[in-house]
Amino acid sequence: MSEQAPATLPPIEVLPRDISAYRKGNRGVDYVHTLDSGQPGPHVLVNGLTHGNEFCGMTAVTHLLDSGLRPVRGKLTLSLSNVDAYHLFDAAKPYDSRYVERDFNRLWDDALLDGPTPGPDLDRARALRPIFTEVDALLDLHSTSSPMPPMLIYQPMAKYLPLSAHMHSPLHHVLLRGVKHAGRPLIQYGAYADPDAVPLGIVVECGQHFAKSAGDVAIGVAIRFLDFFGMVPPALSAAHPALAGEPMRYEIEQSVVSKSEQFRFARPWQGFEELQQGDLIATDGDEEIRAPFPRCTIVMPSGRVTVGRDMVLLAKPV
Ligand SMILES: [Zn+2]
C-alpha cells in the first residue's frame, strides 16, 4: 500500500541486522530457502522485505530458518525479496529505503518483467518470479508507516475464504478489488488473481515498520498460515492460536487524495474507526471531507501530507 512518512519519526525499536548468513540458499537465487518435508503436500512461501524498510518479514523469515522448523508435509519456501533496499537503511531517513529505484510491489506485470527496462528492483523481481509462480500459496509480510492495527489483505474471491477464516489473525481483513495503484502488487500477479486457479497470495500488514511488536505479529501470522496447510507440528500450532473474536471484513470503496498542503485530518485517526455518514474526516483548505456513506471506516490514514497522494482509504464493512 502507499507509503508516506509520518511528520514525526516513531521510535526505531528494530534495526537491520546482518543477514549475510541467509544469502546462500538452495534454490540458486540468493536469500531463498526451500525446506522439503519429503511428504506430499502443498508448496507454500513466506516472504519478507518486499519493502526494504519493513523489518517484520525479515524477523519472521530468519526466525523460521533459525528455529529449525521442518514442514510436516509439502514444501516450505522462505524468501527475502528486496535485500538491496534493506541494505540502504539509514536510521536518520528510515522511510527512504522502501526500494532502490522502483517499488518492488508495483512491478508485477509480465510486459514490464519481460521488457528491457533495467534496474535493481526489477532484476530482483525477475530472479524471484519463478519462485513466486511455482508455489500454491504466498504470505507476503509487510508493515505500515504509522502504527495501526494489523490487517490481512486479500482479493474478494471465494478461494481466499477458507484460508482467511482459518488464520483468524489478524482480525481486520481488507478486501482489495482490482488494481488500485499504478503498477500491480505481487499478490495480484498471475494465478493469485485468477479466481479459478489454486494459488493464493495474501498480505499481512503487521504493524509499524520499526516496532518490535510487528515482528512478533509476523511470526504468529506465519505459523497460522502454515497451520492452515497442516505443515506445522501440533505443539507449535497450539502456541499460536487463533485470536478470540470474529474477523471484521472491509471492502475499500474509495480513497481520499489531498489537493493542497492544507489537508488536515479532523482527528488523529489510527485506522478502523467507523464513522456515520456525514462525519467530518478531514479538511483540505476550504473543503470539508465528510464520510460519504454509512459505516464509513478509516483504513490506512497517512501520517504526512503529500499533495496528490492517497491520504486515507474509506471502506465499508461487509
Ligand atoms: Zn510494504
Is 79 found in the same domain as 61? yes
CA distance 240 to 242: 7
Tell which of 239, 259, 293 closes a domain: 239
DSSP-assigned states of every residue in 168-190: --SSEEEE--S--SSS--GGGSG
Q: What is the mean pLDDT of residues 93-117?
A: 95
Spacing, Cα 270 to ligand 1 middle (Å): 18
Q: What is the mean pLDDT of residues 14-31?
A: 97
Q: What pLDDT was estimated at residue 179?
A: 61
Spacing, Cα 156 to ligand 1 middle (Å): 20
Is 305 found in the same domain as 216? no
Is 53 found in the same domain as 125? yes
Spacing, Cα 176 to ligand 1 middle (Å): 15
Spacing, Cα 137 to ligand 1 middle (Å): 18
Q: Are 33 and 78 in contact (CB under 8 A)?
A: yes
Is 284 found in the same domain as 225? no
Residue 14 lies in a domain: no
Q: What pLDDT was estimated at residue 304?
A: 77
Spacing, Cα 51 to ligand 1 middle (Å): 5
Spacing, Cα 204 to ligand 1 middle (Å): 9
Domain carrying residue 285 = 249-317
How many domains does the chain divide into?
2
Q: What is the mean pLDDT of residues 179-200?
A: 89
How is the chain split among helix, strand and coil, in percent rounded to 5?
A: 25, 25, 50
Is 164 found in the same domain as 280? no
Is pLDDT at 2 greater than 50 in this prediction? no
Res. 177 pLDDT band, cuts 50 70 90 = confident
Residue 12 lies in a domain: no
More confident residue, 235 or 2: 235
Q: Is the peptide bond before 150 cis (omega within 30 degrees of 0)?
A: no
Q: Are 204 and 54 in contact (CB under 8 A)?
A: no
For position 81, which CATH number holds? 3.40.630.10
Residue given cell 489478524 in the structure block: 170
Q: Are 128 and 204 in contact (CB under 8 A)?
A: no
For position 298, which CATH number holds? 2.40.50.100
CA distance 256 to 299: 11
Spacing, Cα 223 to ligand 1 middle (Å): 20
User: In the structure grid, which three cell numbers stand for residue 103, read together?
Assistant: 517499488
Spacing, Cα 278 to ligand 1 middle (Å): 31
DSSP-assigned states of every residue in 51-107: STT-HHHHHHHHHHHHTT---SSSEEEEEE--HHHHTT--TTSTTTTS-SSS-GGG-
CA nearest to 216, candidates 51, 14, 16, 70: 14
Is 259 found in the same domain as 235? no
Is 208 found in the same domain as 110? yes
Is 228 found in the same domain as 202? yes
Residue 7 lies in a domain: no
Is 191 found in the same domain as 125? yes
Spacing, Cα 272 to ligand 1 middle (Å): 19
Q: What pLDDT was estimated at residue 308?
A: 85
Is 158 found in the same domain as 72? yes
CA distance 30 to 43: 19
Is 301 found in the same domain as 225? no
Is 262 found in the same domain as 212? no
